[in-house]
Amino acid sequence: MQRNLKIKVGLILGLLVIALLLIAPSLMWDYTNNQSRMPDFWRQARILPTRAVVMGLDLQGGMHLVVSVDTEEAVRNELYQIKDGLRSVFKEEKIKIDKIEVLSRDKIQVSFLDSENLKKGTDYIKNNYNRVLLETNEGSTLAPIYVLDDAQAEYYRGNATRQVMETLHSRIDEFGVAEPSIQRQGKDRIVLQLPGIKEEDRNRVLNIIQRTAKLEFMLVETFAASKEALLERLGGSLPSGRRLLPEVDKDGKIVAWYLLKEEPKITGDYLVDARPIFGGGDLGGALVSFQWNIDGARRFSRITGEHIGENLAIVLEDKVRSAPVIKDRIFDRGQIEGNFTPQEATDLAIVLRAGALPVGIKIEEERTVGPTLGKDLIERGMLAGVLAGASVIVFMVVYYSFGGVVASIALILNLLFIFAVLAILRATLTLPGIAGIALTVGMMVDANIIIFERIREELRIGKNERSAIEAGFARSLWTILDANITTLIAAAILFQIGTGPIRGFAVTLTIGVVGTVFCGLVVSKTIYELWFALSKKTRKLNIGIKI
Amino acid sequence: MEWIKPGVKIDFVGKRIYFFLISLALIALSILSFLWPGPNWGIDFKGGTELRLRFKERVEIGKVRALVESLNLGEVQIQQFQAGLLEEAEQGIDFLIRVEELKQTKEKEGIKADKLISDKLIESFGEGAFTVLEVNYVGPKVGKELRERGAKALLYSLVGILFYVGFRFEFRYALGAVLALFHDAIISAGIYNLLQREWSLAIIAGLLTIIGYSVNDTIVVFDRIRETIRRTRRGNLRELINQGINETLSRTILTGLTTLMALVFLAVFGGGVIRNFSILMIFGLVIGTYSSIYIASSLVLLMEDIRQRRKSEEQKKEKK
């Protein structure tokens, strides 16, 4: 045997062994319980691979969610903060203004009393907000309009998305999902992949993700049975620094309206812990007890201490949950009663522990597959794949006899390599991914047919077998490369533009195309060379035609 | 075994004008199919909620429909399927329920269509009568984005292929190949529209695959034509092209047939998106094979004819 051939055979066998080692954990994987069934010695040997090919959510079952973050709300919130900040510094600096207004999503107008104040005010803004607010030539002489700097707005947007992502991360962790994946997509999208969510948990998860969990404690000024009655008492308009919020019962029905003081207040940002307590509330049902951090406890004890005898409203997500009378100074603990079911209390505790969302979010896309369907699809996919592959192999062997056997070996090797590469890249196998593999089988067959037809042609013009095979492979090389590279172009674009499962298709197709070129051109040729090297005299080579 | 014997000599490009006319007619019909009957956009592109349920016992579709329609969720589509291949599911029945997007007001309150539907069905069939196999929700924004992304993917791959083939062959070959690919994609889409099967993301992947497959086919033929031209260095382009197509005919047919065989298995046994994908691919394969034989090379010849005619006209002018 030639040295060159020995190296090639060794290389292919080596790759085969590595591929088998990589695939073994997947074959032995218990996909229902998501754990390895490999024997102990395998797991103890550190260098052996233990991870199985990852099944996509469409096969394994689970939830795929795309949520969008209302980043404009973040910008708006910042703009209002700037407005409040300006109002108070102008007061301090004795700059007289008529009013400050937020005009649109990124504009703010300051109306000064006279030109003297205008000068002082604009200078102040120029010196202290030079990177934040830019003066425009809109507005009138005494009331210039400022626009929020683009880079600054972009920072607020990015920050909001980042914060939402962190919050969602801790909510999902608190809820307990095995191996979740939470990724940012573009500027304001977050993709959550939650494998193995049970049917009954789906609505809970949706609820936990979506709720803002904004918790506030505010002092009650007065309340009434209806909004109209309350407004009438106030003379038709809402005084400044006050908020009008409804109280709702367990079923979300409005039972009363409250007029609440915006200051002093304390928010859920100061919580360190929240736990559900089942039974024992005054109203019956479950409740949530919470604990403040040091800052929170200080504020809370001051507020409760100074306002004994008043009502303190517990406001969750802009709805009054209850408004008990402050009987005594309270330090670091408290509880939220609302006649919750145990599950509601558990979920509320989860979102309070994980923290509030800084801005609203919206679910843009949901794809949830139950485990039954996944099993169904894997079974059908496997059956279809095996039948397709087997029929192709039978055809090749019948049509090209020995040549077909060689092609089938190369084809099976290619399939092994695809799974091995999937395992090593930790790529995800999706349903379209299985279709991609099936297509690879087609490409592989094509490569072989191109080569065989070429070899037959060379045999017909009278070449001996060995040189016919040499020439057949050599002449097919660029045809096969060109054909596969163009497919690769389509696959790469699909990967760039596609989402979720479709990407799985692009991944298997790409791996498969590379494998096709390798197995079709290198592996099959090596098998032929080996055949010639092993047979002492030129053995008759049968590729299905008689010359 | 050898089905197509060596030495076949079929004049593929001779009747090119007829095949051009046939193809143009098919393309026109396919474009029309987007107006009538129009594509059956799935929720990936249209937005909405899709719910797949498996009932343990057989249930009348009419009853399910009446219950869902009583919720006033807008347009409702319900289909029934034989429950899976799994043995325990044989008694049961699957329903696919699809509703348009809920009205904005309801949406704001965080009410989900699928929750309303399953609550209603539990109310009348009882808890545990069915399991939810799958829930898909696509918001209107995402639907629009996915449509745009799909169109972009198709366009970019055609451009990518144009450049690669232009780089490896001559530009007129690249143009011939890409026009043929466009032809394949649009006619496959047209047939798919006529069958009124549902468009999903997987179908975009399918069209891309058809393009990939067909360019593969076309390149094998072009490669052979180029080789023949280099080898013989004489004869007119028309004969050389014919020779190239004839020499690769055996391969073209065999590859087509084996791939077809694999696709038929996928279409019959593969579930879910794989089935629609395979059905589309079957048509794409047939059309792709046809265009590689009759259209792509003929287009190259057409461009050559036009060039020759221009040349002779210019020469005439010069003589004058």
B107: pLDDT strictly greater than 60: no
According to DSSP H, which parts of A28-114 are helical? 40-44, 57-60, 71-92
Shortest CA distance from B160: residue in chain A: A489
Residue A111 lies in a domain: yes
pLDDT of residue A262: 84
Distance CA A288, CA A327 (A): 19
Q: Which of A380, A435, A460 is nearest residue B277 as measured by Cβ atoms?
A: A435
Collect all residues with Cβ–Cβ distance below 8 Å to A521 and sequence separation of at least 6.
Answer: A447, A473, A476, A477, A480
Q: In this complex, do A544 and B263 lie within 8 Å of one another by their Cβ atoms?
A: no
Q: Are residues A282 and A409 in the same domain?
A: no
Q: Are residues B204 and B300 in the same domain?
A: yes
pLDDT of residue B90: 61
Q: Are residues B116 and B148 in the same domain?
A: no
Q: Which domain holds residue A272?
A: 211-363
Q: In this complex, do B157 and A494 lie within 8 Å of one another by their Cβ atoms?
A: yes
Chain A positions touching B84 (Cβ under 8 A) are: 372, 376, 379-380
Shortest CA distance from A487: residue in chain B: B212
Q: Mean pLDDT across the stretch B286-305?
A: 92
B105: pLDDT strictly greater than 50: no
Chain B positions touching A376 (Cβ under 8 A) are: 84-86, 89, 133, 271
Q: Are residues A352 and A426 in the same domain?
A: no
Q: Are residues A415 and A474 in the same domain?
A: yes
Interface of A with B in 330-389 (CB under 8 A): 362-370, 372-373, 375-377, 379-381, 383-385, 387-389
Q: How close are the terminal C-alpha atoms of chain B, in Å? A: 61
A457 near B CB under 8 A: yes
pLDDT for B167-225, tens place per residue? 988 888 999 999 999 999 999 999 999 999 989 888 888 888 888 888 888 989 998 99
A392 near B CB under 8 A: yes
Which of A502, A508, A510 is the best substitution to test chain B (most B C-beta atoms within 10 A)?
A502
Q: Are residues B126 and B198 in the same domain?
A: no
**Nearest CA of chain A to the CA of B228: how many Å?**
12
Q: Are residues B134 and B146 in the same domain?
A: no
Q: Are residues B151 and B297 in the same domain?
A: yes
Interface of A with B in 160-179 (CB under 8 A): none
Q: Are residues A351 and A389 in the same domain?
A: no
Residue B7 lies in a domain: no
Shortest CA distance from A398: residue in chain B: B1
> What values do phi and psi take at A33, rounded to 5?
-105, 0
Residue-by-residue pLDDT tens, chain A, 547 positions? 678 889 999 999 999 999 999 988 888 777 666 677 778 788 777 778 878 888 888 888 899 999 999 999 899 888 888 888 888 888 888 888 888 888 877 888 889 888 888 888 888 888 888 888 888 888 888 888 988 888 889 999 999 999 999 999 999 999 988 889 999 988 899 999 998 888 788 889 998 998 888 999 999 988 888 888 888 888 878 887 788 999 987 777 888 999 999 887 888 889 999 999 887 655 567 889 999 999 999 999 999 999 999 999 999 888 898 888 888 888 888 888 877 888 888 999 999 998 899 898 988 899 998 887 877 777 888 888 888 889 989 999 999 888 899 999 999 999 999 999 999 898 888 888 887 887 788 888 889 989 988 888 888 888 888 888 899 999 899 889 988 888 888 888 888 887 766 788 889 999 999 999 999 999 999 998 888 888 765 556 677 776 5
Q: Counting Cβ atoms within 10 Å, is residue A204 exposed (0-12), middle (13-18) or buried (19+)?
A: middle
For residue B96, give the H/E element and its range. strand B93-99
**Nearest CA of chain A to the CA of B251: how many Å?**
6
Chain A positions touching B273 (Cβ under 8 A) are: 431-432, 435, 501
**Nearest CA of chain B to the CA of A162: how many Å?**
21
Residue A49 lies in a domain: no
pTM: 0.82
Q: In this complex, do B160 and A489 lie within 8 Å of one another by their Cβ atoms?
A: yes
pLDDT for B51-84, tens place per residue? 999 888 888 899 999 998 888 887 888 988 876 6
Q: Are residues A96 and A71 in the same domain?
A: yes
Distance CA A472, CA A477 (A): 9
Shortest CA distance from B200: residue in chain A: A502
Q: In this complex, do B278 and A435 lie within 8 Å of one another by their Cβ atoms?
A: yes
- Is A406 within 8 Å of A528 (Cβ atoms)? yes
Shortest CA distance from A480: residue in chain B: B220
CB pairs A-B closer than 8 Å: 230
Q: Mean pLDDT across the stretch B14-25?
A: 93
User: Strands across the sheet with A333-340, in order?
Assistant: A271-277, A286-292, A333-340
Residue A169 lies in a domain: no
Residue B4 lies in a domain: no
**Nearest CA of chain A to the CA of B305: how many Å?**
26
B48: pLDDT strictly greater than 60: yes
Q: Are residues A216 and A355 in the same domain?
A: yes
Q: Are residues A485 and A525 in the same domain?
A: yes
B109: pLDDT strictly greater than 70: no
**Nearest CA of chain A to the CA of B258: how many Å?**
6
The domain boundary residue, chosen from B138, B166, B201: B138
Q: Are residues B109 and B203 in the same domain?
A: no
SS3 state of residue A547: coil
The domain boundary residue, chosen from A321, A344, A363: A363
User: For position B90, which CATH number holds?
Assistant: 3.30.70.2040
Q: Are residues B279 and B300 in the same domain?
A: yes
pLDDT for B227-267, tens place per residue? 888 888 777 888 889 989 998 998 999 989 988 988 898 88
A497 near B CB under 8 A: yes
Residue type, A506: A
Q: In this complex, do B86 and A497 lie within 8 Å of one another by their Cβ atoms?
A: no
pLDDT of residue A43: 75
pLDDT of residue A15: 94
Q: Are residues A389 and A520 in the same domain?
A: yes
Distance CA A61, CA A52 (A): 16
pLDDT of residue A519: 93
Q: Which domain holds residue B63?
A: 48-138
A250 near B CB under 8 A: no
Neighbouring CB atoms inside 10 A of A388's CB total 26
Chain A positions touching B224 (Cβ under 8 A) are: 479
Domain count, chain B: 2
User: For position B181, which CATH number holds?
Assistant: 1.20.1640.10
Residue B85 lies in a domain: yes
Q: Are residues B28 and B105 in the same domain?
A: no
Q: Are residues B169 and B285 in the same domain?
A: yes
User: For position A259, which CATH number holds?
Assistant: 3.30.1360.200
Q: In this complex, do B262 and A389 lie within 8 Å of one another by their Cβ atoms?
A: yes
Return the structure tokens found at A272.
């360190």
User: For position A435, which CATH number holds?
Assistant: 1.20.1640.10
Q: How far is CA B154 from the centre of its chain?
A: 11
pLDDT of residue B235: 76
A184 forms beta bridges with A190
The domain boundary residue, chosen from B85, B107, B138: B138
CA A238-A239-A241 angle, to 5 degrees, is 110
Shortest CA distance from A501: residue in chain B: B202
Q: Are residues A441 and A525 in the same domain?
A: yes
Q: Are residues B101 and B198 in the same domain?
A: no
Residue B170 lies in a domain: yes
Residue whose tokens read 């949706």: A206
Q: In this complex, do B142 and A364 lie within 8 Å of one another by their Cβ atoms?
A: yes
A312 forms beta bridges with A219
Q: Are residues A410 and A524 in the same domain?
A: yes
Distance CA B35, CA A133 (A): 51
Distance CA A37, CA A27 (A): 9
Q: In this complex, do B201 and A398 lie within 8 Å of one another by their Cβ atoms?
A: no
Q: In this complex, do A431 and B201 lie within 8 Å of one another by their Cβ atoms?
A: no
